Amino acid sequence: MLELQSQPTPVGIQPFYKDEICDQVLGRRPGYSKGLGWGPKPKARRTASASSSSTSCSQSTEKEIELHAKLHEALEWIEVQDRNHQALASQVESMKKMIEELTRAQQGPPHDP
């Protein structure tokens, strides 16, 4: 391999890449995966875990979108309930004033001795 690397490259010809030299020196082996080069290859279970990881990622994204929609819906519901509460509180205050006025009217004018 070192011998092939050290040889001068004729003009106009690309130098050999490491994988090409390995292929020429060692030949093709059943364990060689084109594009992955020489060396240890990922095991099938790693690929499965990677695909399950991407599946769980997309599932978590879907879940996140679903939760975001539920949160938005809950916030809108809270806003409606808050407006209802304010309206009811205003009505209660109006009724209190009305009761006070009716009570004063029934008692008559204040007495001056």
CA distance 103 to 33: 95
3-state secondary structure 88-100: HHHHHHHHHHHHH
- CA 93: distance to chain centroid? 46
Q: Is 112 a member of any domain? A: no
Q: Write the DSSP symbol of residue 35.
A: T
Q: Write the DSSP symbol of residue 37.
A: B
Give the residue carrying structure tokens 């995966």: 33
This model's pTM is above 0.85: no
Q: What is the domain range of residue 102?
A: 59-107
Which tens digits make up the pLDDT trace of 54-98?
666 777 888 899 999 999 999 999 999 999 999 999 999 999 999
Domains in the chain: how many in total?
Answer: 1
3-state secondary structure of 33: strand
Q: What's the confidence (pLDDT) of residue 59?
A: 77
Q: Is 41 a member of any domain? A: no
